[in-house]
Amino acid sequence: MKTLTPGQYAFWKNVVGSKVVEVDMREQALDVSGQEIMTADKVTMRMNTLVTYRITDARKAVTVTDGAKHSLYREGS
């Protein structure tokens, strides 16, 4: 497994199995809407959240999780 530097690359078919995964390293936003939480005094509140995130380690984002956005949404739920 290797992280490619920016540039153009060519891959030949049937030589070696290869897969290129593009990862967007820009800042992104995720809307987590309609989450119900209960406070310490047993009051139920409905909350909407906007999360801003940026991937800092592309290899980890691809190999450790099934998708950074999906993992972040599950953590916010």
| Alpha helices (H) along the chain | 58-63, 68-76
The verdict on residue 36 lying in a domain is yes
The verdict on residue 45 lying in a domain is yes
Which residue type is seen at 71?
A: S
The verdict on residue 12 lying in a domain is no
The verdict on residue 18 lying in a domain is no
pTM metric for this prediction: 0.57
- Residue 69 sits in which domain range? 28-76
User: Phi/psi at 37 (nearest 5 deg)?
Assistant: -125, 155
Q: Residue 68 pLDDT more than 80? A: no
The verdict on residue 1 lying in a domain is no
Q: What's the domain count of the chain? A: 1
Q: Residue 76 pLDDT more than 80? A: no
The verdict on residue 49 lying in a domain is yes
The verdict on residue 10 lying in a domain is no
Which pLDDT tens digit goes with each residue over 13-66? Answer: 776 677 777 888 899 888 878 778 888 898 998 888 888 888 888 888 888 777
Measuring CA to CA, which residue among 72, 68, 75 is closest to residue 21?
A: 68
Which residue type is seen at 42?
A: K
The verdict on residue 35 lying in a domain is yes
**In the prediction, which pLDDT does 1 show?**
67
